[in-house]
Chains A and B, each alone.
Chain A
Amino acid sequence: MAHVKFDHVSKSYPGGHQALSELSFEVARGELAFLTGHSGAGKSTLLKLIMLMEKATRGQVLVDGVNLSRLAPRQIPFHRRRIGVVFQNHQLLFDRSVFENVALPLRISGYSSRDLERRVRAALDKVGLLSKEKLNPIELSGGEQQRVGIARAVVNKPSLILADEPTGNLDPKLSLEIMRLFEQFNDVGVSVLVATHDVQLISRLKHRVLALGDGRLLGERPSQVETTHV
C-alpha cells in the first residue's frame, strides 16, 4: 500500500489562487522522495495537506490508506503524531532547553518520564547533539538548530517524515549532512518526503525526484539507488 497517495488533488485558496491542480502521485512505504520546484510551485501546500494544516478543495489525500477528508477534527492530533515534520525555520521554542524541545512530542503522546528521557537522548544522539541537551536552542548554530528540529521530528518514531526546505539557510556541506540524516532514517524503513529547491544537492543524491510547477507534476526522476542497501 502506498504510504502517501494524492488522487487528483486540487487546492485553491480564497481569493482564487490555485496552489495545486489535479495532482496525482504516490510515495511508497519506506521510500525517500524529493519534491522540487521553484517557490510557489505548491511544495509547501502539498506537505500542509498531508499534515492536515490545509484541506484539499477537490480530490483525495490518503495516508496509510486513510482518507484525510474523512478524519474528524478530534482525530487530527493523532494523525499528526504519526508524522514527523521538519521546517525550514525549524519552529523551535526558545523558552526551553534543547531537551524539552525534543521531548515535546513525547509529552503530548503521554510517555512516562523514564521512557521519555531515554528516547530524547537517543534522538539527540542520532543528530549528534547529545552534549547540548541543556542549552537553549538560541545558543546553537543554524545547522544545529535544524538538527534539533529533526530530533524532535523523529523522537516519536514516526513512520513518515516530511521536511519543508530543511536546508534552506544552510551551506552545502551542512545541507548534505542533513540529507544524510534523512537517508539514515530511511534506511530503517521510515518513509521520507523532502521538499527542497536545492537542485544541485538533489542531483548528488540518487533518490526519486518529483518536480512540481504551478501546482502540477511536471516530471519525475525515478530512484537510482541500488535496491540492496547495506
Chain B
Amino acid sequence: MSKPNRSGAQQSKITAQSQWQSYLSHHKLMAVDSLSRLLSQMGSSLMTWLVLAIALALPMTLYVSLENVKQLSRTWDQTSQMSVYLTTGTSETEAQALTKTIAQWPDVTSSQYISPEQALKEFSATTGLTDVIAGLDANPLPGVISVLPRLGNEDTGALEQLEAKLLEQSSVESVQLDLLWVKRLYQFMDLGQRLVWALAALLGLAVLLIIGNTIRLSIESRKDEIRVVKLVGGTDAFVRRPFLYTGIWFGLGGGLIAWLLLTAGLYWLSGPVERLISLYGSDFVLLGLGAKDSLLLILDGVILGWLGAWLAVSRHLSDIEP
C-alpha cells in the first residue's frame, strides 16, 4: 500500500438528537415545498381540488339531507299516535281506568281519554257544522283513547305489538294507526342511509384514483430527482415523503372546498326551507354541518389524499431505480 499510515477519512457522526431534529425539519420542508409546488401550478391544482371537493361534497350533501329528514320525522312522530276506539256503552269510569292502565305500559309515552261529548265539541268547533250537530238526537261518536307510543328506535314491529295488545283489552272496538305511512318513511330512510354509504364508498374510491393518478404524474415528472436521491442514499421513506404531503394537501384542499360548497349551499337553501316549513306550523330548523361533521369531512379528505398518494407511490416508486 502506498500510504500505510492512513486509515481512510472518518465518516462524520450524526447524533440521534440532531437526526430527529432534521427528520422533523425535513418533514416541515417537504410539507412547505409540496404545497408551494401545488400553488405554483394554481390552474391545474385548482381543477384537481374542485373535482375532489365535488366528490367529497356529494355524499355529505346526501348525509345532511338525510339528517334533516330524520329530524323532521321526529317532529312527525306525533302522527304515529294511535286512536283507540271504545265500544259504545263504555262508561266514563271504565274508560278513565283503561286510559290510566295504558299510560303505565312501558311502550306508551302518554294516553289521553277523549269522551264522546268532548269529541263532538271538538268536531263541531273544527268543522263549523255546529247546526248540523245540534240537530242530532244522540252523540254518534264513540269514546276514544289517544295513545302516544314510545318510539325508541325505528322498529315498526313494536307498534304492531302495541296495537295487538290494545285490541286485547275489553271494551276496545278498534285501533287506528297510520302504520303504513310510518313504515314507508322508515324504509325510505333506511334506503337513503344505504345510498349515502354506497355513494360515499364509490366517490371515496374516485378520490383515491384521482389523487393516485395526480401523484403518478408528479412522480413521473420528478423521476430524475428520485433517481439522484436514491443514488446518494435516500431511503424509501425519504423519497415518499414529498408525494405523501402532496396527497395530504390535495385532500385537505378538496375537503375544505367541499365544506365551503356545502356550507354555502345550506345557507342558500335555509331561507326558502324555513319559510316553507313555517307554512306547516312546524318549528323545524334546517340542520347545518355540525363541527363534528365538518371535521369529519375535512379529515376524510386528508386521509383519502394520503392514502391515494401512498398507493401511487408504492406502486410507481419501485419502478425508478438508479
Determine the chain B residues whose CB is within 8 A of the CB of A30 once the complex forms: 1-3, 6-8
A111 to B26, CA, bound (A): 10
Pick the residue among A51, A80, A91, A229 that contacts B3 (CB under 8 A).
A229
With A28-B1, A53-B322 known as contacts, the answer to whether A108 contacts B233 (CB < 8 A) is yes
Task: Please determine whether A115 and B18 come into contact, CB atoms closer than 8 angstroms.
Answer: yes
Determine the chain A residues whose CB is within 8 A of the CB of B231 once the complex forms: 51, 53, 80, 85, 91
B25 to chain A, nearest CB (A): 7
A74 to B235, CA, bound (A): 7
Task: Please determine whether B229 and A104 come into contact, CB atoms closer than 8 angstroms.
Answer: yes
Residues facing B in A152-196 (CB within 8 A) are 152, 156-160, 188-191
B234: CB under 8 A from chain A? yes
Determine the chain B residues whose CB is within 8 A of the CB of A110 once the complex forms: 14, 18-19, 22-23, 26
B183: CB under 8 A from chain A? no
Determine the chain A residues whose CB is within 8 A of the CB of B232 once the complex forms: 80-81, 85, 104-105, 108, 152, 156
Q: How many residues of A contact B (CB 8 A)?
A: 42
| B26 to chain A: closest residue by CB | A107
A62 to chain B, nearest CB (A): 15
| B322 to chain A: closest residue by CB | A53
Determine the chain A residues whose CB is within 8 A of the CB of B229 once the complex forms: 104, 108
| A161 to chain B: closest residue by CB | B9
Interface residues on B, range: 35 or more
A77: CB under 8 A from chain B? yes
Q: Residues 130-164 of chain A: 1 if any B CB is under 8 Å from the residue's CB, otherwise 0?
A: 00000000000000000000001000111110000
Task: Please determine whether B14 and A111 come into contact, CB atoms closer than 8 angstroms.
Answer: yes
Q: Tally the A-B contacts, defined by beta carbons under 8 Å.
A: 109
Determine the chain B residues whose CB is within 8 A of the CB of A201 once the complex forms: none
A107 to B225, CA, bound (A): 14
B190: CB under 8 A from chain A? no
B197: CB under 8 A from chain A? no
B11: CB under 8 A from chain A? yes
Task: Please determine whether B233 and A93 come into contact, CB atoms closer than 8 angstroms.
Answer: no
Task: Please determine whether B228 and A80 come into contact, CB atoms closer than 8 angstroms.
Answer: no
Determine the chain B residues whose CB is within 8 A of the CB of A159 once the complex forms: 8-11
Pick the residue among B9, B12, B227, B322 that contacts A188 (CB under 8 A).
B9
A111 to B321, CA, bound (A): 25
Determine the chain B residues whose CB is within 8 A of the CB of A3 once the complex forms: 8
B238: CB under 8 A from chain A? yes
B236 to chain A, nearest CB (A): 8
Task: Please determine whether A109 and B2 come into contact, CB atoms closer than 8 angstroms.
Answer: no
Determine the chain B residues whose CB is within 8 A of the CB of A107 once the complex forms: 22, 26, 29
Task: Please determine whether A93 and B7 come into contact, CB atoms closer than 8 angstroms.
Answer: no
Determine the chain B residues whose CB is within 8 A of the CB of A81 once the complex forms: 232-233
A88: CB under 8 A from chain B? no
Q: A30-B1, A51-B231, A82-B11 are in contact. List 13 more A-B contacts (CB 8 A).
A: A53-B321, A77-B234, A80-B233, A105-B232, A107-B29, A108-B234, A110-B19, A112-B25, A157-B10, A158-B11, A223-B2, A225-B2, A227-B3
| 22 sample A-B contacts, Cβ–Cβ < 8 Å, listed by A number | A28-B1, A29-B7, A30-B1, A30-B2, A30-B6, A30-B7, A82-B11, A91-B228, A93-B225, A93-B228, A95-B225, A104-B229, A108-B235, A110-B14, A110-B26, A111-B22, A113-B22, A189-B3, A225-B2, A227-B2, A227-B3, A227-B4
